[in-house]
Structure 1
Amino acid sequence: MGNSGSSSGPHLHFEVRDTRTQEPINPALFGFEIADHTPPAMRQLKVYALNDRLETIGEQLFRLRKNGRHYRLSEDTLVVGAWRVGFGLKVYDQHDHVPNLNGIYALRMYVDDSLWYAFEMERFSFAQTRYLNAHVDYAARVRDRAWFNRTWLLPGNRLEAYPHVSGQRGALPLYRNRPAHVRLVAEDPWGNQSELTFWIRRGEVTPPPPRPYNYHIDWATGGTVRLDGLRLHLPKGALYEDLYLQCDIQNDTDAAHYAHRYRLASPEVPVHRWAELAIAPARTLPPRLRSKAFVGWFDDSGQLVSCGGTWHDDGMLHAHVRQLGDFTIGIDTVPPTVEPVSFSRDMRGRSQMRFRITDNQPVTGRARGLRYRATVDGRWILMEYDAKKDLLIHEFDGRIGPGEHHLRIVVTDDRGNRTTQTYTFIR
């Protein structure tokens, strides 16, 4: 049973796996009768101008016109000022009479009626899950919560879901006097298809403006960024393509922060493997607060999120991160809270007791969430933790007998701040 993701309650996780490799196989391919006569819905097309290294140097977004399962652009021929392009298709699949938006099963691109690119989700390895961040337009996913399927491969993409890729990793060369006819076909496991067709040719190519950056990290080797009071090491395999970072130090006047605010590119850059980030305090940190200090990352609302951290002999606070953006050192001295939700002194006839546990400091990455321990009359009891609702739940199963009992709940956060609550109840 599971209750993860966007589910609203416990549900059964059903999988079909290859017993030899343990790879999950798409269960829709095994003849289950699911009402689905609805073809995938195409929403938008992105055209990415690519340089000779197949790096994006510009992009254009186009809305689509629908006619049954066929889609068109508002213009017959796209004219793009680039020597080569890649495409991104925003497309979702749905079952009949169900509002859920699902990913597509397959996407194929034909150029002048010849297969150019194919993506197919028949199976995949759990070890390759994060490579989906390279398959989609990750920046659009973070910024707009939109899923654009790429039709060309980033160099660090190791997802084994592409039975056919032509040209340079799927990039399409453009010619001024020879338009290419492009047909994109999206398909679900039940054979329902949608298709988008258009023509495209090269227009006047003008050099893109130089991109501002002060660090270039090669995707194949990784690299290290060093600023005053900061060190970021991106190991080999952390990136899907070369990274051009604009890193700088910003003045942070918040008295609760003990380091500069460092800007390391943007959260819109995907990071595949854990990177090591080390930050030194910019002002004196009292000894009593050293154990309460954490490497903090600013989310899109400006809230500081703890990445955890440990002090090393170099005098810097080290943490492993898997996102870029703005960082500093924060302090957490506030203990968690424990609040009775379904509890009273007289628990006779009750089937369960529930408590809400919360913390003021959100965490991410390898920072630990709340840890808890509950005892009745000094003996450990099982408490189920519903992380979605912040609830600790104990189901009475007869092991706590009649009479008066003493309950003790201890909750500890990532920085060791601890709350202990004691209660007396009768069964």
Structure 2
Amino acid sequence: MKKFTLGLLSLFSTFGFTQENYPQDAFRSPLDIPLILAGTFGELRSNHFHGGIDIKTQQREGLPVYGIADGTITRIKVSIWGYGKVLYVAHPNGYTSVYGHLQKFSPRIEEYVKKLQYDKKSFEVEAFPDYGELKIEKGELIAYSGNTGGSAGPHLHFEIRSSISEKPTNPMLYGIDIPDATNPTLEKLFVYPLSDNSQVNQSREKVQVNFSRQPDGTFLASTVNALGKIGVGFVGYDRLDMAANKNGVYAVSLSVNGKTYCSYDFESFSFGETRYINTLIDYDHLGRYRERIQKLFKSPGNYLSIYEELYNNGIIEVGEGLSYNLQLLISDFKGNKVTLNIPVEGKKEEIKIEKEDDRTDYYVIAKKPNNYDLGGAKVYFPENTFYEDFYIDLKKGQDTVTIHRNTVPAHRNFTITFDVDKYPEEERKQLFIARLDERLNPSYLNTYKRGNTFTARTRNLGTYTLAKDTVPPTIRTKNFKEKQWLNNYRYLSVHISDDLSGVDSYSATLNGEWILMEYEPKTNTLTYNFDDTILDKKQCVLEVTVTDNVGNTSTLATPFYRN
């Protein structure tokens, strides 16, 4: 960075950050409101790091979104999942800005997108305009904030990427200022024995260690008695000013007797490596307790590039009779930090908690393909599906297959195949492979049907079954009634849903002509804007057809009147 306060520079030196010179005055804010974050860059999410910052929009949609600099729109996408409605703008200085979960685009961009949607007769579209075709200026209105796609509430997802590598970088590195004078919070500390003969506080399993605040503001952990190879993990978060929500921390460092063993930060990462987040966290702990422990040691299969320093993969080798002072330092972007000192004594003790015996009849070798025939069902794991070798629990029931527990992460898709020979041909049309949740509710998996076998691909361990869907989707009007006069209505709203296999596709016509209806699966709503069509009839008929994932279809035809 070009500009540092002395305090920030000192902190970055402590962590050993190596940062590029990021432009500090090239970009303006994408919103004209005080910036308060709902999510920080690099935050730990399900199977990925957060690739941008989430800016709160005062709990509402429709705030103007502005281009942060001169540029040209290189990509536009409309999807019911992911970023929803999203814009990608390339700038002359080699960066690309991304604006996600938008409610709608500015008028000229909206016109471009709607033409494409009507040409393709599809709400979901993706376009890559020619370079220079859709130029924008710094501060130009380009969209309005929303809640589309995989968003859980109104906000703007904002990214800055390299236009060449597409690697995202922390937007706060570019002079975008977010007030923050609050130290991160350290919630829990864990110490792991990392070999068969290692021990921590009389245990072969990981141990939670208590700590307390000291008069100087640092924290001191209870003395840890250990022997052999050990590692450290923590649970923590950061809070920014004017926001109660928990955010991810920016940088972490662990030293042993003054020597840095592990340090990493969230300056940048590659989307191609983001799923390796499951090696940074204790995934088994996440699956059991829904809590993310960040590890300060590198596990097998971890190819993350976020590490600034790494000695002995962060593994500490404790010798009998020796003393060690471990120091954990956690920082946010503004340099606020929390320090925890962990005294460790090399001491052999009587073991009271042995390592859990997880042996089963099946053993997965991670670097080789593994194929299991369970009788009536098969499970195939390609090489490198998993990060390390382990005993896997496989069970075949009546039309169910249980594949271990969701406490082991899969990096690649594996396949589940069911033999459906016992089902009549006609009945197979309504069958599909589903994953059962903890309450045994089925969720549809894209099922490939070939001859007497059904196959699905997934990256989630758990229980799978053959499910049957015989009920077509439901369709009903929301904001109008049959044969109603709708002169003052701006839009039509229709509810669609399918309770089992889920909605696969839909289409709508008005007086026999295809119309664009925007689909919001969070509310099961289709919406049509009357501005899209000039009606030449007083009596109109809206016809909506919905098909679920096994082919069951429903159609609703609703007449109404409009001058």
- What is the TM-score normalised by the length of structure 1? 0.88
1:50 and 2:188 matched: no
1:78 and 2:224 matched: yes
- CA displacement, residues 192-230 of structure 1 (integer Å, 9 cap, x when unaligned): 111211112343375635422122212222422221222
- After TM superposition, the structure 1 = structure 2 runs for residues 248-267 of structure 1, keeping only pairs within 5 Å, are 248-250=395-397, 252=398, 259=399, 261-267=400-406
Which secondary structure does the structure 1 equivalent of 2:276 belong to?
helix
Aligned to 1:232, which of 366, 379, 401? Answer: 379
1:218 and 2:365 matched: yes
Deviates more, 1:35-44 or 1:334-343: 334-343
Q: Given that residues 417 and 456 in structure 2 are in contact (C-alpha distance below 8 angstroms), is that contact kept between their aligned partners in structure 1?
A: yes
- AA matched with 2:225: V
Shift of 1:142: 3.5
The whole-number CA distance in structure 2 between the counterparts of 1:122 and 1:205 is 44
Q: Given that residues 516 and 528 in structure 2 are in contact (C-alpha distance below 8 angstroms), is that contact kept between their aligned partners in structure 1?
A: yes
- After TM superposition, the structure 1 = structure 2 runs for residues 368-407 of structure 1, keeping only pairs within 5 Å, are 369-397=503-531, 399-401=533-535, 403-407=538-542
- After TM superposition, the structure 1 = structure 2 runs for residues 361-372 of structure 1, keeping only pairs within 5 Å, are 361=500, 369-372=503-506
1:309 and 2:447 matched: yes
Corresponding residue for 1:149? 294
Which secondary structure does the structure 1 equivalent of 2:334 belong to?
coil
The whole-number CA distance in structure 1 between the counterparts of 2:273 and 2:557 is 46
Q: Given that residues 83 and 173 in structure 1 are in contact (C-alpha distance below 8 angstroms), is that contact kept between their aligned partners in structure 2?
A: yes
Residues 95 and 423 of structure 1, relative CA distance in 2, 3 Å threshold: same
- CA displacement, residues 20-72 of structure 1 (integer Å, 9 cap, x when unaligned): 21111001122222110111111111222222699x96222234434575233
Q: Given that residues 418 and 455 in structure 2 are in contact (C-alpha distance below 8 angstroms), is that contact kept between their aligned partners in structure 1?
A: yes
Unmatched segments (≥5 aa) in structure 1? 253-258, 364-368
1:356 and 2:495 matched: yes
Which secondary structure does the structure 1 equivalent of 2:307 belong to?
coil
Residues 249 and 179 of structure 1, relative CA distance in 2, 3 Å threshold: farther
1:290 and 2:428 matched: yes
Residues 72 and 226 of structure 1, relative CA distance in 2, 3 Å threshold: farther
The whole-number CA distance in structure 2 between the counterparts of 1:66 and 1:5 is 39
Which secondary structure does the structure 2 equivalent of 1:139 belong to?
helix
The whole-number CA distance in structure 2 between the counterparts of 1:192 and 1:347 is 57
Residues 386 and 209 of structure 1, relative CA distance in 2, 3 Å threshold: closer
Residues 241 and 308 of structure 1, relative CA distance in 2, 3 Å threshold: same
Residues 52 and 30 of structure 1, relative CA distance in 2, 3 Å threshold: farther
Q: Given that residues 353 and 395 in structure 1 are in contact (C-alpha distance below 8 angstroms), is that contact kept between their aligned partners in structure 2?
A: yes
Shift of 1:123: 0.8
Q: Given that residues 156 and 219 in structure 1 are in contact (C-alpha distance below 8 angstroms), is that contact kept between their aligned partners in structure 2?
A: no
Residues 113 and 144 of structure 1, relative CA distance in 2, 3 Å threshold: same
Shift of 1:394: 1.2
Which secondary structure does the structure 2 equivalent of 1:232 belong to?
strand
The whole-number CA distance in structure 2 between the counterparts of 1:92 and 1:196 is 14
Q: Given that residues 386 and 411 in structure 2 are in contact (C-alpha distance below 8 angstroms), is that contact kept between their aligned partners in structure 1?
A: yes
- CA displacement, residues 349-406 of structure 1 (integer Å, 9 cap, x when unaligned): 111111121111266xxxxx53111111111111111122111111210514251111
Corresponding residue for 1:92? 237
Percentage of matched positions with identical amino acids: 28
- After TM superposition, the structure 1 = structure 2 runs for residues 68-217 of structure 1, keeping only pairs within 5 Å, are 70-73=218-221, 75=222, 77-80=223-226, 83-167=228-312, 169-202=313-346, 203-204=348-349, 206=351, 208=355, 210-217=357-364
- AA matched with 2:220: R
The whole-number CA distance in structure 2 between the counterparts of 1:373 and 1:403 is 22
The whole-number CA distance in structure 1 between the counterparts of 2:445 and 2:307 is 35
The whole-number CA distance in structure 1 between the counterparts of 2:522 and 2:210 is 36
Residues 358 and 278 of structure 1, relative CA distance in 2, 3 Å threshold: same
Corresponding residue for 1:411? 546
Corresponding residue for 1:256? none
Runs (4 or more) in structure 1 with deviation over 4 Å come to: none
Residues 211 and 382 of structure 1, relative CA distance in 2, 3 Å threshold: same
Residues 89 and 187 of structure 1, relative CA distance in 2, 3 Å threshold: same
The whole-number CA distance in structure 1 between the counterparts of 2:467 and 2:150 is 29
The whole-number CA distance in structure 2 between the counterparts of 1:341 and 1:350 is 13
- After TM superposition, the structure 1 = structure 2 runs for residues 27-38 of structure 1, keeping only pairs within 5 Å, are 27-38=171-182
Q: Given that residues 414 and 459 in structure 2 are in contact (C-alpha distance below 8 angstroms), is that contact kept between their aligned partners in structure 1?
A: yes
Residues 146 and 209 of structure 1, relative CA distance in 2, 3 Å threshold: closer
1:330 and 2:467 matched: yes
The whole-number CA distance in structure 2 between the counterparts of 1:317 and 1:39 is 53
The whole-number CA distance in structure 2 between the counterparts of 1:21 and 1:398 is 39
Residues 170 and 218 of structure 1, relative CA distance in 2, 3 Å threshold: farther
Corresponding residue for 1:278? 417
- AA matched with 1:71: F
Shift of 1:329: 1.2
- Aligned length, in residue pairs: 406
Aligned to 1:245, which of 376, 392, 405? Answer: 392
The whole-number CA distance in structure 2 between the counterparts of 1:70 and 1:336 is 59
- AA matched with 1:269: V
Shift of 1:175: 2.1
The whole-number CA distance in structure 2 between the counterparts of 1:136 and 1:272 is 14
Shift of 1:184: 0.9
- AA matched with 2:219: Y
Corresponding residue for 2:458? 321
Q: Given that residues 517 and 528 in structure 2 are in contact (C-alpha distance below 8 angstroms), is that contact kept between their aligned partners in structure 1?
A: yes
Which secondary structure does the structure 2 equivalent of 1:134 belong to?
helix
Question: RMSD value over aligned CA atoms?
Answer: 2.3
Which secondary structure does the structure 1 equivalent of 2:297 belong to?
coil
Q: Given that residues 372 and 380 in structure 2 are in contact (C-alpha distance below 8 angstroms), is that contact kept between their aligned partners in structure 1?
A: yes
Q: Given that residues 71 and 195 in structure 1 are in contact (C-alpha distance below 8 angstroms), is that contact kept between their aligned partners in structure 2?
A: yes
- AA matched with 2:453: M
- AA matched with 2:324: A
Shift of 1:421: 0.8
- AA matched with 1:149: Q
Residues 304 and 66 of structure 1, relative CA distance in 2, 3 Å threshold: farther
Residues 398 and 381 of structure 1, relative CA distance in 2, 3 Å threshold: closer
1:346 and 2:493 matched: no
- AA matched with 2:365: D
Q: Given that residues 42 and 71 in structure 1 are in contact (C-alpha distance below 8 angstroms), is that contact kept between their aligned partners in structure 2?
A: no
Corresponding residue for 1:23? 167
Q: Given that residues 410 and 419 in structure 1 are in contact (C-alpha distance below 8 angstroms), is that contact kept between their aligned partners in structure 2?
A: yes
The whole-number CA distance in structure 2 between the counterparts of 1:121 and 1:205 is 41
- AA matched with 1:383: M
